[in-house]
């Protein structure tokens, strides 16, 4: 029995007690959680403490009445009242053990839930400038953003993960000029981009366009800019794919500046007028302003300068509106530690567009990550490349380590620890637990143990109760991680589950000793073993981390 099923079975009993007391239900579900101390039972609820005040009853008195009703429910072995009104429930082995069969039957779908059903979400993250390789500053949101996308989808949302390509503006001209200078053997221009990767791009451009150096400078510059952009963006895509990061949408900033062939109006032009229609745009000092202070911004923002040139804020506005036009009611932006100033600006923009800044947009800021002993890239010269980190530490170790801590706390990784094949290394500890479940399954098959029988009541060992309770928690953990935008909860759960499994493995055999016969206990324990492997695999998949069969 999982927490949702238990809560559903308790609700009618709660409703009956409340009705007898002449009250009305103040809750539509019974809150269920795992007690920290296993001696307190399998599950606990504070429903009596929530309902006591509106009913005018002491919480402990209501808890005792509810406990009496709960004891009569099928599958409940015992019920105790603790403290001011907590109710602790222990399930009988048969009811608790059924979760193993449920997990095996649901397989990859176990953990999925519908808590975010009906929500359309656009999740934007990484969004690196396409003028250089991805670096350590991008790695945290690459790992966490992709994991968050997986968790949000698993919780029923209709979600698109999106990479916003900042491919407009002076930076692209500087990028092209840097490549052309390298192709000609000239020094890097002022405000240009240094590094061996520029020389590598220049060599590729010359190979693709052998006539480059014979063209006039304007044409050669355009070729270097566009071909270099295409090559560098492709490398970014490939780096992310190797890092097991997927984007549903790659959105080019350039399309916001392109006029519609029929009307001559660009999305940015349209965005300004749409904001004006909302009543938050005004003209002053020959410039066009958005009154973002109406929505908590520290100052109003210029959207078009007096010379007619649009600001970056104009592109932000057009981009935000494009997300709404594409059907996304909720927008989540994952930004780096140096983007705190964007929070109020983007929320104010949502308000100016007619949305609710507190409901329709979220701006999450990720703190810096550092890795002891990481060296600057030989290609880029002044950064630590994602490609180098991946080759050094491996995708699984890097992704797992980045995903297991909250994004809003600074993080320093220890490469020596991440390369150890010991239980001190969290990713090894979890992956080894999965590999052990597969090894147990192989040994069981060799010993003639198959899932041909299942008797949940046989799973009565103390470690089996602990393991079953942990397995039953997984859907709630996924839903919680989605609601709080905290995928690190999946990693921490996986580590706790691995610990429960290892303790069970040390105490309970799936295969018989020596010439002992195979019994239904062995067969039923194989279900539990395979259920645990399935849940660990599902958790690692949500983190974008592999689940090896052997280690």
pTM tops 0.75: yes
pLDDT at residue 220 in the model: 98
Q: How far apart are CA 31 and CA 44, in angstroms?
A: 8
Q: How far apart are CA 336 and CA 141, in angstroms?
A: 8
Domain 421-542: CATH superfamily is Isoleucyl-tRNA Synthetase; Domain 1 (1.10.730.10)
Q: Give the residue range(s) of CATH 3.40.50.620 domains in the chain.
A: 253-366
Q: Give the residue range(s) of CATH 1.10.730.10 domains in the chain.
A: 421-542
Q: Which CATH number fits domain 3-91: 1.25.40.10, 3.20.20.80, 3.30.1360.70, 3.40.1410.10?
A: 3.30.1360.70
Mean pLDDT of residues grouped by 10 in the chain (551 residues)? 86 92 83 83 92 92 94 92 93 90 97 97 96 92 96 98 95 97 96 94 97 96 98 98 97 95 94 93 94 90 93 94 97 88 90 94 91 76 87 95 92 91 94 98 97 96 94 96 97 98 97 95 98 98 98 91
DSSP state of 366: P
> Which structure tokens are listed for 367?
């703190």
Q: Which CATH number fits domain 253-366: 3.40.50.1100, 3.40.718.10, 3.40.50.620, 3.10.20.310?
A: 3.40.50.620
pLDDT at residue 160 in the model: 98
pLDDT at residue 485 in the model: 97
What are the Cα distances from residue 192, in Å, to 171, 175, 200? 9, 6, 15
- DSSP codes of every residue in 405-464: S-TTS-EEE-HHHHT--STTSHHHHHHHHHHHHHHHHHHHHHTT--SS---GGG--SHHH
Nearest to 401 by CA among 268, 319, 333, 494: 494
- CB count within 10 Å of CB 245 equals 27
pLDDT at residue 378 in the model: 66
Q: Give the residue range(s) of CATH 3.30.1360.70 domains in the chain.
A: 3-91
pLDDT at residue 145 in the model: 96
> Which structure tokens are listed for 164?
């916003």
Q: How far apart are CA 238 and CA 220, in angstroms?
A: 27
What are the Cα distances from residue 120, in Å, to 10, 156, 242, 324? 32, 10, 28, 10
pLDDT at residue 95 in the model: 86
Q: What is the C-alpha end-to-end distance of the chain, expressed in Å? A: 32
Contacts of 262 (CB under 8 A, 6+ apart): none
């Amino acid at each position: 029995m999982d927490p949702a099923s238990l809560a559903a079975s308790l609700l009618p009993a709660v409703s009956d007690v409340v009705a007898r007391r002449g009250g009305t239900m103040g809750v539509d579900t019974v809150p269920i959680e795992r007690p920290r101390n296993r001696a307190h039972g399998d599950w606990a609820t504070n429903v009596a403490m929530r309902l006591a005040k509106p009913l005018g009853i002491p919480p402990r008195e209501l808890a005792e009445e509810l406990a009496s009703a709960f004891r009569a429910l099928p599958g409940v072995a015992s019920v105790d009242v603790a403290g001011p009104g907590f109710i602790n429930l222990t399930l009988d082995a048969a009811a608790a053990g059924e979760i193993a069969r449920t997990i095996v039957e649901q397989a990859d779908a176990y953990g999925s839930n519908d808590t975010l059903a009906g929500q359309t979400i656009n999740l934007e993250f990484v969004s690196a400038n396409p003028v250089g390789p991805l670096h350590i500053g991008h790695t945290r949101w690459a790992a966490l953003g992709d994991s968050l996308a997986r968790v949000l989808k698993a919780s029923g949302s209709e979600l698109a993960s999106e990479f916003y390509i900042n491919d407009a503006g002076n930076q692209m001209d500087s990028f092209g000029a840097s490549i052309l200078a390298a192709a000609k053997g000239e020094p890097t221009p002022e405000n240009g981009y240094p590094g061996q990767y520029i020389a590598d791009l220049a060599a590729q451009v010359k190979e693709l366009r052998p006539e480059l150096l014979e063209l006039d400078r304007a044409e050669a510059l355009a070729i270097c800019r566009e071909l270099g952009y295409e090559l560098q963006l492709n490398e970014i895509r490939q780096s992310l794919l190797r890092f097991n990061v997927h984007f549903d949408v790659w959105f080019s900033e350039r399309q916001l500046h392109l006029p519609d062939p029929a009307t001559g109006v660009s999305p940015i032009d349209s965005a300004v007028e749409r904001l004006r229609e909302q009543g938050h745009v005004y003209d002053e000092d020959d410039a066009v302003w958005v009154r973002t202070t109406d929505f908590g911004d520290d100052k109003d923002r210029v959207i078009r300068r007096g010379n007619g040139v649009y600001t970056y804020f104009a592109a932000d506005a057009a981009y935000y509106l494009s997300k709404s036009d594409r059907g996304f009611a909720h927008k989540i932006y994952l930004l780096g530690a140096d983007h705190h100033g964007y929070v109020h600006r983007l929320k104010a923009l949502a308000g100016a567009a007619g949305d609710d800044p507190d409901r329709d947009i979220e701006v999450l800021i990720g703190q810096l990550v550092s890795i002891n002993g990481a060296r600057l890239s030989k290609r880029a010269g002044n950064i630590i490349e994602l490609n180098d980190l991946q080759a050094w530490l491996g995708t699984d170790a890097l992704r797992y380590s980045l995903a297991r801590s909250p994004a809003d706390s600074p993080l320093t990784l220890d490469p020596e620890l991440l390369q150890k094949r010991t239980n001190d290394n969290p990713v090894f500890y979890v992956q080894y637990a999965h590999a052990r479940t597969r090894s147990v399954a192989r040994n069981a098959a060799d010993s003639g143990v198959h899932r041909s029988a299942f008797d949940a009541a046989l799973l009565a060992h103390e470690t089996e109760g602990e393991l079953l309770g942990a397995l039953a928690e997984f859907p709630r953990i996924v839903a919680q991680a989605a609601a709080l935008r905290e995928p690190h909860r999946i990693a921490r759960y996986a580590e706790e589950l691995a610990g429960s499994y290892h303790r069970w493995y040390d105490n309970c055999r799936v295969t018989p000793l020596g010439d002992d016969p195979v019994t239904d206990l062995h067969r039923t324990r194989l279900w539990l073993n395979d259920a645990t492997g399935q849940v660990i695999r599902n958790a690692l998949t949500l983190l974008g981390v592999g689940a090896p069969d052997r280690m």
